[in-house]
Amino acid sequence: TLKVDGIRSNSATSDAITLASGGTCTANITNKPNRNLIINGAMQVAQRGTSNTTGGDGYFTVDRMSYYNSGIDNDVTKAQADIASGTTPYSLGFRKSFKLTNGNQTSGFGADDVIRVDTKLEAQDLATSGWNFKSSSSYITLSYWVKSSVAQEFFGYLYMDDTPYKYGWSLGSLSADTWTKITVTIPGNSNLGINNDNGVGCWLNLLGIWGTNRTASDAAPNTWVVWDGTKRSTDQASTWYTTNDATFEITGVQLEVSDHATDFEHRSFGQELALCQRYYFRFTASTSGTHIAMGHQMTSSAAKIILPFPTSMRTRPTAVETSGTASDYSVARTSTYEVCNVVPTFAGASKEVGNVNTNQTQASISTGYAVVLRANTTDCFLGFSAEL
């Protein structure tokens, strides 16, 4: 007979099983569904396309992974990349990564320059996750896989949006071209606050490459500090940025209420896509002639099209994204097809439905008739954003 009060791993801070004197026990079961607070952590979904070089604030390639750069002389390529077979992430079920490729840089990394990768969590999801964020004995644990083609130390941080506090960490001195698992266990703090609403709960900075005006030798890691934009991390090397065609990859991002990391919660592509569509939805034509959505002819040369969203979005979209080419779109009734002379324009939206207006080159469809918006090419798309 073995009599114990509790059972825990030698690296854990709380018991996996707690036993009471009456013979009952409480198990800390962490391998449970819906434990991963990150959406698209395996980088499966890329509604906007699989690669782009657009820089600036809040640009997306892989859904839910936001990229930002400022001050650099050449925009970095962002892509959904394939993970090579035979690697550790591949053996764990990961097939896609979010990959940055530096390109050919012609100048050094300036004091105000920035490259970063973030994902934002909705406040109500974090507030109701079960994390007692005001208690230093309650934890969330972040884990993710990274690979850099350049050996150097990188940094990340968790920024709380409703109360400006930051918890930073080092990714360690990574070995070149080697997949490394990063694990960070973060305690609560009595100064934190999280609103129970659909705004930003936190920014999770998975990779930050900062100029010296944004770093400091006394930027304390592994502890909660009041936000200071000049102390995002301790000082770091600029080797990655000044190396032409340097790459950095991320996959397997998981944030869970636990004092240790559990195995990644793999969700199906369909589950991840549905979760992503709360924040962004794009209808993309698979073939020329694809019907996009129904509407009605407002005048002899203009129609209003109504596009239902597949899920209720986080908030009401305020714009529509298009291919930028009018001839990619046409309006049709029976066998009559009228090519648009301008791209569709935003005409309003709820969280469930988006409306666009069209204008056609001809005027052969009578007012009041039902019509359909039609794709003339495979470049045709309509996109609606409710991103944080």
67 has pLDDT over 90 = yes
What's at 109, amino acid-wise?
F
What are the pLDDT digits (tens) for 236-246? 999 999 999 99
SS3 71: coil
Q: Of the ranges 14-23, 69-78, 374-383, which is most confident?
A: 374-383
Question: Which ranges of the chain would DSSP assign to H, the alpha helix?
Answer: 88-91, 123-127, 239-242, 269-276
Q: Identify the residue with better confidence: 278 or 334.
A: 278
Among the ranges given (56-70, 91-105, 372-386), the one the predictor scored with the smallest mean pLDDT: 56-70
The percent of residues above 90 in pLDDT, for the chain, comes to 81
What are the pLDDT digits (tens) for 90-137? 999 999 999 999 988 777 889 999 999 999 999 999 999 999 999 999
Among the ranges given (11-20, 277-286, 333-342), the one the predictor scored with the smallest mean pLDDT: 11-20
What are the pLDDT digits (tens) for 125-179? 999 999 999 999 999 999 999 999 999 999 999 999 999 999 999 999 999 999 9
27 has pLDDT over 70 = no
Per-residue model confidence (pLDDT) at position 14: 76
Per-residue model confidence (pLDDT) at position 28: 65
Decide: residue 27, CB within 10 A, 0-12 exposed, 13-18 middle, 19+ buried. exposed
Average pLDDT of the chain to the nearest whole number: 94
Cα(142)–Cα(183) distance, rounded to whole angstroms? 6
Cα(253)–Cα(118) distance, rounded to whole angstroms? 11
Among the ranges given (31-35, 189-193, 291-295), the one the predictor scored with the smallest mean pLDDT: 31-35
Q: Identify the residue with better confidence: 121 or 6.
A: 121
Per-residue model confidence (pLDDT) at position 361: 82
The percent of residues above 70 in pLDDT, for the chain, comes to 98
Residues 6+ apart with CB under 8 A from 137: 187, 188
Q: Identify the residue with better confidence: 351 or 9.
A: 351
What are the pLDDT digits (tens) for 268-299? 999 999 999 999 999 999 899 999 999 999 99
Per-residue model confidence (pLDDT) at position 83: 98
Per-residue model confidence (pLDDT) at position 335: 81
Per-residue model confidence (pLDDT) at position 126: 98
Provide the pLDDT confidence category of residue 233 given band limits of 50, 70 and 90: very high
Provide the pLDDT confidence category of residue 249 given band limits of 50, 70 and 90: very high
Provide the pLDDT confidence category of residue 16 given band limits of 50, 70 and 90: confident
Angle value at C-alpha 209, between 203 and 215, nearest 5 degrees: 85
Per-residue model confidence (pLDDT) at position 136: 98
Question: Residues 180-193: what's their mean pLDDT?
Answer: 98
Whole-prediction pTM value? 0.92
Cα(265)–Cα(255) distance, rounded to whole angstroms? 10
72 has pLDDT over 90 = no
Whether residue 272 contacts residue 44, with contact meaning beta carbons closer than 8 Å, is answered with yes
Per-residue model confidence (pLDDT) at position 31: 59
